[in-house]
Amino acid sequence: MTDHALPHDYPIPIDPADIDFMGHVNNASYLKWVQDAVLSHWRKIAPADAVASLLWVALKHEITYRKPTFLDDEVIATVLLEKVQGARAFYQTIIKRGEDVLAEVKSSWCCIDAETLRPARLASNVIERFFPDQTNGSTASA
């Protein structure tokens, strides 16, 4: 994870419906968790006008499962925006139970205008909120 980006911790509620026939969380639940965590990160850091006018669509998730997750586990997803290129954002999400890494997720997302539903570039002042220790342009690409 990049030292200069603002991470976001998102507690994950595990529902009995998440549990599969083997007694642990079904792999499909991780996708829902990552989406919830990334969108929570966006809503927490982005300005209200950007949250209201821009939406996110997942383009790709690459999940590496490390350990199974169970119903009574206390799980936290730590989300980090790695970079922005045009209308695309690249995230890393680490899902942990205590110190145990349960899954690592690399995902890419497309920002879209809520009105036109067309791809939309993030303004530099929005991107800077996620990377407060870096100068404009060092993490975001046009």
Domains and CATH numbers, the chain: 8-141 (3.10.129.10)
Residues 117, 41: Cα–Cα separation, whole Å: 21
Which tokens belong to 140? Answer: 């975001």
Report d(CA 68, CA 129) in Å as an integer: 34
**Whether the predicted pLDDT of 141 surpasses 60:** no
Q: pTM to 2 decimals?
A: 0.87
Residue 2 has pLDDT above 50, yes or no: no
Are the C-beta atoms of 57 and 110 separated by less than 8 Å?
Answer: yes
Compute the mean pLDDT over every residue in the chain, rounded to the nearest whole number.
Answer: 91
| pLDDT value, residue 122 | 95
DSSP E strands, the chain? 8-12, 54-65, 75-85, 88-97, 100-113, 140-141
Question: Residue 6 pLDDT > 90, yes or no?
Answer: no
Checking if the pLDDT of 12 tops 80, the result is yes
Q: Which of 3-17, 28-42, 74-88 has the lowest mean pLDDT?
A: 3-17
Average pLDDT of the segment spanning 6-19: 95
- Residue-wise pLDDT for 14-68, tens only, equals 999 999 999 999 999 999 999 999 999 999 999 999 999 999 999 999 999 999 9
